[in-house]
Amino acid sequence: FVIAQQLDGGGILIEGLYTPMILLQKQNIILCGNEFRNHQLRTMALLPLSKNRLRLVTLSETEVEAHKRTEHLVARPLDEFLWRVALWTSRGRIAKGTDISKKIVLLHWPNFTRLVVTPYALRISALWIAQPHSLLETTKILNIPQRYVFSFFSAASALQLAFVDRRTEQRRSQSTPSNNTKHGLFKRLLARLRHQE
């Protein structure tokens, strides 16, 4: 989330979910109740959220420490959390506007020692590391259902590991300024949670 990236200290409290959560972007962790388990996270990711229920509050370092004590919050790796949420919210789909015929660039191999290994994730990673391929090409080359390719792309792009290669477009339109702004990981996560179908 852009606000979290700009904070020198402290974090962002997210209210309106199953449990209060505090994003500590600079430390790459998210704090949530110690009773909060993956099955609850999955349920939360699959249910539509009301925009009215979700509230973001900026916290100082002192306030973060107070919340940790009073609400018994424990730290979870943010990348592992985002990966799971992206997988479960995508449900084998991709974000609107994603061009399935454009090549996908995978910046580096995902850390599968910490992340959920989805079906065919290793094969998709190996293919994209060797050479960028489109989502459609990937399903054909590997002969796998597209839902697995789409899920992997959604999770990898949530961690900013994968993106649609727009370099050829940029070369063609170098004189045209880009209107795209870089979105933070958490902003995309919240957008995904808010705009579930």
**Among 105-109, 146-150, 166-170, where is mean pLDDT lowest?**
166-170
| 123 or 31, greater pLDDT | 123
**Residue 73 confidence class, pLDDT cut points 50, 70, 90:** confident
Give start and end residues of each alpha helix (H) in 91-184.
121-130, 135-142, 146-158, 167-172
Tell whether 169 and 125 lie within a shared domain. yes
Query: To the nearest whole percent, how much of the chain has pLDDT over 70?
Result: 70
159 and 76 assigned to the same domain: no
Structural domain harbouring 161: 103-194
What are 14-67's pLDDT values in tens digits?
A: 877 777 789 998 888 988 876 666 656 666 665 665 555 778 889 988 898 888
- The H or E element containing residue 90 is helix 78-90
pLDDT digits (tens, 9 = 90+) for 89-100: 888 888 888 889
Distance CA 28, CA 194 (A): 22
- Asked if residue 108 and residue 162 are part of one domain, the reply reads yes
Domain count, the chain: 2
Structure tokens at 126: 């190996």
Query: CB under 8 Å to 183, separation ≥6 — which residues?
Result: 2, 191
